Amino acid sequence: MEFKYYIDKEQKIVVRSFHGEVSLESLEKSLAVVWVDPDYSPLYSGVADFRDSKLLFSKVMLYKIIKTVSDNSMSLQGRVAILVSEPLSAAMATIYGEQLRNMSQVEIFCYTSVAAKFLEVDTNILDCLSDVKPIYVE
């Protein structure tokens, strides 16, 4: 899997995109990379774009990532928008959002413009990733 991320301190948002096959392990590794960035703040909001990826984990594995996120003080506490394009990803993201409602407000979207409105950020928020080098995780 490859992913990109950018932390916009002005808009107080963590922007991430995922590409290829996303396993539970690769998703956890990507979280660890972002959480150690000195610009990262769990008080920020976030957008995670999964539209160019294929999720390779089951409902049981999804609950493991939810536990990892909910048990970690570095998890985002602001609003979180998850962008998806396929029904299975949407179902997984919905479960994720429902389980983490006590930490942050999580919503699922297909379009960046609607997600940006929810997050109260520029509609071209994903453009910041265009010059970011991808990070590869297995």
> Which carries the bigger pLDDT value, residue 9 or residue 69?
9
Tell me: the pLDDT tens digits for 90-104? Answer: 555 556 555 555 545
pTM given for the model: 0.81
Distance CA 44, CA 38 (A): 13
Tell me: the pLDDT tens digits for 62-90? Answer: 556 656 666 666 776 778 888 887 655 55
What is 2-136's CATH superfamily?
Answer: STAS domain (3.30.750.24)
Give me the chain's average pLDDT, please: 81
Length of the chain: 138
Tell me: the pLDDT tens digits for 110-130? Answer: 889 988 998 999 999 999 999
**Over 13-58, what HEC string results?**
EEEEEEEEEECHHHHHHHHHHHHCCCCCCCCCEEEEEEEEEEECCC
Radius of gyration for the alpha carbons in the chain, expressed in angstroms and rounded: 13
The confidence band for 36, taking pLDDT boundaries of 50, 70 and 90, is very high
